[in-house]
Amino acid sequence: MRSPGSGTGNGWAVGILGGLALLAPLPLLVPRDDVLNFVLLVLLSITLAQSWNIIAGYAGQVNLGHAAFFGLGALTARTLWIGGTPVLIAMAAGSLVATAFALLIGAAAFRLRGAYFAIGTLALGEILRATVGNVLPEISTLPATSIGAYRLAPRYYLALGLAALSVLAVAGLQRSRLGLGMQAVREDEDAAEATGVSARGLKLRALALSTALAGAAGGVFAYYHISYYPAHPFGPAWTFDALLMTFIGGVGTLQGPVLGAVLYVFLKEYLTVRWVDFHLLIFGALFVAIVLLFPGGLVQALSRVGSGRRRPARRGGAAS
């Protein structure tokens, strides 16, 4: 799926990065924790959605266990950071561990086409969630000294920097040979191979980039939360969040996951307050409807409105 707005991809990149830059002085201008927490959540969501978008939207490989990489990043970073490692190094280590696990699954699953990658990632996510829950059932809480020294601003800037990095990564991908190769593989593997690119190599590189970002996002999560159950970031809800945000906005585009993340976090806050457990039912139905009826998400809808005519329906529709 070529993004409808890909001709203006540069404009979007500049616009989004400019928007993120405007958020930089926020902790000084609005020193309110609730506002900062909310924006931090949006920023973390942008990274999570954008990282899923790289493997699924650009390389066309449906990852149903994205939470595994987010969780691995969180677990590694948290363990190292509480053990005394500087947070940036701990985050980088978490990112590396997530990528290592991803390449293990990917190297096996990408030998074959079809649903193996989706099954493998789903298995990895669920098995890690169960195993981490079994092995580390206790809640992870920061030591009292760290709680005393806890400041929101560094967490906020880390999330902001990572969100900007994820946007830069995708913007760079759109224009590079690497990104074009991934999109060729997504559209038609045989044709891509015929032009001399290695489909498997491209998929693995997309996976590495995607999971490195997801793992780093997990690191921010681990650094941000005072206490959480270690199995929590491995939960399938994180994967679902990434899928839904990307699809709301527009899969395989630069701006889609950003728009989707902003909209989704607002909607979720609103719906969670109104219908505590019910919001997932609504989001599940919404997601199914988008996949089947509006596979291009908001970006596609906006471009239809913008161009004033219907684009010809894509063959078969959806998430390729």
Partner 1 sequence: MTPELTVLAQQVVLGLLLGGLYGLAAAGLSLVFGVLKVLNVAHGELIMLGGYGAYWLFARLGVDPFASLLLVIPGALLAGAVLYLGLFGFVVRAHEHTRVKNSLLVGFGLALSLHALAVRLWTADDRSITTTYGGAVLSVGPIAIPLIRLASLAVALALIGALHLLLARWRWGKAIRATAEDWQAALLTGIDVRRAYLLAFALGTALAGAAGTLVSVGYSISPSIGLEWTLKALIVVVLAGLGSMLGTFAAGLFVGVAEALSAAAFGGPYREVVGLVIFLVVLVLRPQGLFGRGQ
Measured from the CB atom, is 69 or 223 closer to partner 1?
69
In angstroms, how far is CA 55 from the centroid of its own chain?
A: 10
CA distance 264 to 94: 26
Asked if 159 interacts with partner 1 (CB under 8 A), we say no
Does 319 bind partner 1 (CB under 8 A)? Our answer is yes
**How many CB atoms lie under 10 A from the CB of residue 114?**
8
Q: Is 320 in the site for partner 1 (CB under 8 A)?
A: yes
Please name the residue that has the structure tokens 């990104």: 179
* Radius of gyration for the alpha carbons in the chain, expressed in angstroms and rounded: 19
Asked if 277 is part of the footprint of partner 1 (rule: CB under 8 A), the reply reads: yes
C-alpha 156/C-alpha 137 separation (Å) is 28
Exactly one of 19, 154, 284, 306 binds partner 1 (CB under 8 A); which one? 284
Q: Is 317 in the site for partner 1 (CB under 8 A)?
A: yes
CB closer to partner 1 out of 156 and 283: 283
Q: Judged by CB under 8 A, does residue 21 bind partner 1? A: no
The smaller minimum CB distance to partner 1, of residues 62 and 168, is found at: 62
Tokens representing 173?
A: 């991908």
Question: How many chain residues touch partner 1 (CB under 8 A)?
Answer: 49
Going residue by residue from 29 to 68, which x/- string records binding to partner 1, judged by CB under 8 A? -------------------------------x-x-x----
Contact between 103 and partner 1 by CB under 8 A: the answer reads no
What is the nearest approach in angstroms of partner 1 to the Cβ of residue 3? 17
Contacting residues for 27 by C-beta, under 8 A, at least 6 apart: 36, 152, 153, 156, 157
Cα atoms found within 13 Å of the Cα of residue 198, Cβ hemisphere only = 8
Give phi and psi for 166, each to the nearest 5. Answer: -65, -40
Phi, psi of 250 (to 5 degrees): 145, 110
Identify the helix (H) or strand (E) that includes residue 141: strand 140-141
Choose one: 6-14, 36-44, 242-250, 299-307; the region binding partner 1 (CB under 8 A).
Answer: 242-250
Closest CB to partner 1 among residues 24, 282: 282
Residue 201 CA, chain-centre distance (Å), reads 21
- What is the DSSP secondary structure assignment for residue 57, as one 8-state letter? I
Q: Which of residues 113-132 bind partner 1 (CB under 8 A)?
A: 114-116, 118-120, 122-124, 126-127, 130-131
Calpha distance 223→189 (Å, rounded) = 40
Of 29-37, 69-77, 100-108, 303-311, the segment contacting partner 1 by CB under 8 A is 100-108
Q: Distance between CA atoms of 83 and 254, rounded to whole angstroms?
A: 37
Quote the least distance from Cβ 109 to partner 1, whole Å.
6
Give bridge partners of residue 140 from the DSSP assignment.
228
Q: Which of 38, 157, 228, 240 binds partner 1 (CB under 8 A)?
A: 240
- Cα–Cα dist 136/168, whole Å: 36
Report the interface residues with partner 1, using CB under 8 A.
60, 62, 64, 104-105, 108-109, 111-112, 114-116, 118-120, 122-124, 126-127, 130-131, 134-135, 236-237, 239-240, 243-244, 247, 277-281, 283-285, 287-288, 291-292, 315-320
